[in-house]
Amino acid sequence: MQTSTTSATRADGPTFEKRSPVTGEPLGRFPITSPAEVDEAVARAREAFATWRETPLEERLRMLGRIKDVVEAHGEEYARRISEDTGKPLVDSLLTELMSIPLFLDHYRKTAAKVLGRKRVGTPILFPGKRSYIERFPVGVIAVIAPWNFPFQLSMIPVLSALIAGNTVVLKPSEVTPLTGEIIAEIFRRIGLPRGVVEVLQGDGTTGAALTAAAVDKIFFTGSVATGRKVMAAAAQRPIPVELELGGKDAMIVLADANLRRAARAAAWGGLVNCGQMCTSVERVLVESAVHDRFVALLDEEVAKMRVGGPDEHAEMGPLTFGKQLETIERHVKGAVEAGARILRGGERVDRPGQFYAPTIVTGVTPEMELYREETFGPVIPVIEVADADEAVRLANDHQYGLNGSVFTGDVERGLAIASRLECGQVMVNDLVASVGNPALPFGGVKNSGFGRYHGDEGLLSFTHERAIMVDRGRLDFEAFWFPYQGKYDAMAQVFHGLVGGNLPKALVGLAKLGRITSRG
Ligand code: NAD
């Protein structure tokens, strides 16, 4: 028994080319899975669902737990291949791509039974002698459509969450990072899941669109707002549920009482890690006036230390994974400068082959600029001077996106109070980004950053439907509210006024009368 993977596509079908982001050299050609092949894969996943949903949770967790052994044994080789695919430093491939998988598997191994298990809930006095439960059941075949910036993690975590919850999955990795798609297919082949439980389909937007139109039961999409709209429109045709994990323009607030050295190092890491290609990148640093110049000087010191290079050079920052992103970055920076902003550092491509852009700081950024309004998705740290914390909160919230945020302050209680005022899915106080790595915390956005949550309990619950169950022992021949209605009105009015007026004894007397009338038949 084997997982179907890219090999399921026709050998003579259309293909796309992958080039190295570091050198521009071709790295191979990959199949574009056709709509007919997508339908076949979905049909296999549908067939497998019948068995997988009945496989006990413990057994599902045990089988998926083998991924830990595979990642342990092949992790460094996978890190090299992911870095070849994306250009990101090897440290990042290990830290931000591979390491999260065992952490999530461990977390769900400990929590899944409780999260997914049947729960007893209260039953109102109106229903004497009954018990009520909520239980969960899997949604069915889940389409997971993934982006290229964290091509391993952002595919694997939704796939694993859906599988643990009893669904089968058809994954379409990004066409920008097909080498990572191969790694994922290889991992599922290695652990030997039954055929159809996970299908990995390489391909471009046409494959993604075919998957959203196929007979899947839910779509979990991570990517841009523009594609998210198309995915939601496709889902509306059937209609099926969607979850959208979209872009961000995360605000980092630096207050005057913050540890400025820490804040500067945080901004450098949060803005430049993964070459700024992160939905949770720091894309707006809002700094209180009193410390603005000092903070900027410290930030510049930190960014000056950054070394840029390919994975083999063990630099802090690699190239852009997606070459077209360079044009967006250049347009944002140029537009900002034309509108009065100042490039403190960087602001240009790096003079070497490949898709490299220099680590960049832009100061004097204002809300009218595209660099402020739109997601840049590159190694650019825009700094905005604000009068005080209130202005910082107002600006942070007055934006189309709401994914992550952070507050740097010497007063943790104040930081927490400000965190509670930020309109976004995650906030950290005196740190940033890392909360996404805690499997116990939910993750997701508001506004144009999307909706729905995964990670944490939600990561399993969102791949289930709820089923409400009420149980009666069935000993009586009747129920108080059943027919006949003849002669019941006064007793019913007593129940009504007793309950609505908060007079429980009166309601119970009415209920007993109803029961007596019904029992006489
Ligand atoms: P994208 O929207 O271009 O592509 C995402 C995926 O959608 C790819 O697999 C692509 O092939 C597929 N696709 C393209 N057209 C499609 C269609 N019509 N129907 C269905 N699928 C289609 O996004 P991207 O450039 O790969 O990723 C970058 C974006 O993702 C950024 O905006 C980033 O902020 C966002 N992102 C969000 C999160 C999050 O968790 N919120 C995480 C990472 C990235």
Q: Is 181 in the pocket of ligand 1 (CB under 6 A)?
A: no
Is the pLDDT at 10 greater than 80? The verdict is no
Cα separation, 396 vs 287, in Å, equals 11
Q: Mind listing the pLDDT tens digit for each residue in 444-456? A: 999 999 999 999 9
Assess whether 317 and 226 both reside in one domain.
no
Assess whether 200 and 322 both reside in one domain.
no
CATH of the domain at 67: 3.40.605.10
Whether the predicted model's global pTM rises above the 0.85 cut: yes
Decide the pairing of beta strands 15-19 and 26-31: antiparallel
Q: Is 283 in the pocket of ligand 1 (CB under 6 A)?
A: no
Cα separation, 451 vs 466, in Å, equals 19
Q: Is 344 in the pocket of ligand 1 (CB under 6 A)?
A: no
| Ligand 1 atom at shortest distance from the alpha carbon of 148 | 26
Is the pLDDT at 213 greater than 60? The verdict is yes
Cα separation, 275 vs 282, in Å, equals 11
Q: Give the distance (Å) from ligand 1 centre to CA of residue 173.
A: 10
Q: Is 378 in the pocket of ligand 1 (CB under 6 A)?
A: no
Q: Mind listing the pLDDT tens digit for each residue in 397-407? A: 999 999 999 99
Q: Is 445 in the pocket of ligand 1 (CB under 6 A)?
A: yes
Q: Mind listing the pLDDT tens digit for each residue in 108-161? A: 999 999 999 999 999 998 999 999 999 999 999 999 999 999 999 999 999 999
Is the pLDDT at 236 greater than 60? The verdict is yes
Q: Give the distance (Å) from ligand 1 centre to CA of residue 299.
A: 31
pLDDT above 90: percentage of residues in the chain:
97
For the residues 328-340, what does the mean pLDDT come to?
A: 98
Q: Give the distance (Å) from ligand 1 centre to CA of residue 244.
A: 10
Domain annotation covers residue 451: no
Domain count, the chain: 3
Assess whether 57 and 140 both reside in one domain.
yes
Cα separation, 479 vs 498, in Å, equals 19
Residue 67 phi, psi dihedral angles, 5° rounding? -60, -35
Domain annotation covers residue 402: yes
Assess whether 384 and 521 both reside in one domain.
no
Domain annotation covers residue 482: no
Q: Do 132 and 123 contact (CB within 8 A), yes or no? A: yes
pLDDT of residue 353: 94
Residue 83 banded pLDDT, cuts 50, 70, 90: very high
Cα separation, 255 vs 322, in Å, equals 34
pLDDT of residue 12: 81
Assess whether 52 and 75 both reside in one domain.
yes
Residue 464 phi, psi dihedral angles, 5° rounding? -135, 160
Assess whether 175 and 265 both reside in one domain.
no
Is the pLDDT at 11 greater than 90? The verdict is no
pLDDT of residue 1: 36
Domain annotation covers residue 431: yes
| Residue to probe by mutation, ligand 1, list 97, 216, 222, 237, most atoms within 8 Å of CB | 222
Buried b (16+ CB within 10 A) or exposed e, 96-107: bbbbbbbebbeb
pLDDT of residue 9: 59
DSSP state letters, 153-194:
HHHHHHHHHHHHTT-EEEEE--TT-HHHHHHHHHHHHHHTPP
| Ligand 1 atom at shortest distance from the alpha carbon of 173 | 9
Which residue, judged by its Cα, is nearest atom 9 of ligand 1? 174
Buried b (16+ CB within 10 A) or exposed e, 46-65: bebbeebbeeebeebbebbe
Residue 7 banded pLDDT, cuts 50, 70, 90: very low
Q: Would you name the residues annotated as active-site residues?
A: 245, 279
Assess whether 304 and 279 both reside in one domain.
yes
DSSP state letters, 295-313:
HHHHHHHHHHT--B--GGG
Is the pLDDT at 8 greater than 90? The verdict is no
Six token digits for residue 225: 């707002």
pLDDT of residue 137: 98
Q: Mind listing the pLDDT tens digit for each residue in 417-469? A: 999 999 999 999 999 999 999 999 999 999 999 999 999 999 999 999 999 99
For the residues 176-180, what does the mean pLDDT come to?
A: 98
Assess whether 266 and 191 both reside in one domain.
no
Assess whether 75 and 98 both reside in one domain.
yes
Domain annotation covers residue 12: no
Cα separation, 174 vs 151, in Å, equals 7
Assess whether 405 and 461 both reside in one domain.
no
Q: Is 250 in the pocket of ligand 1 (CB under 6 A)?
A: no
CATH of the domain at 407: 3.40.309.10
Which candidate, 235, 149, 152, 282, places its Cα nearest to that of 452? 235
Assess whether 292 and 432 both reside in one domain.
yes
Domain annotation covers residue 474: no
Q: Is 491 in the pocket of ligand 1 (CB under 6 A)?
A: no
Q: Mind listing the pLDDT tens digit for each residue in 464-510? A: 999 999 999 999 999 999 999 999 999 999 999 999 999 999 999 99
Q: Give the distance (Å) from ligand 1 centre to CA of residue 208.
A: 10
Full domain range(s) for residue 297: 250-439
Which residue, judged by its Cα, is nearest atom 8 of ligand 1? 174
Assess whether 256 and 233 both reside in one domain.
no
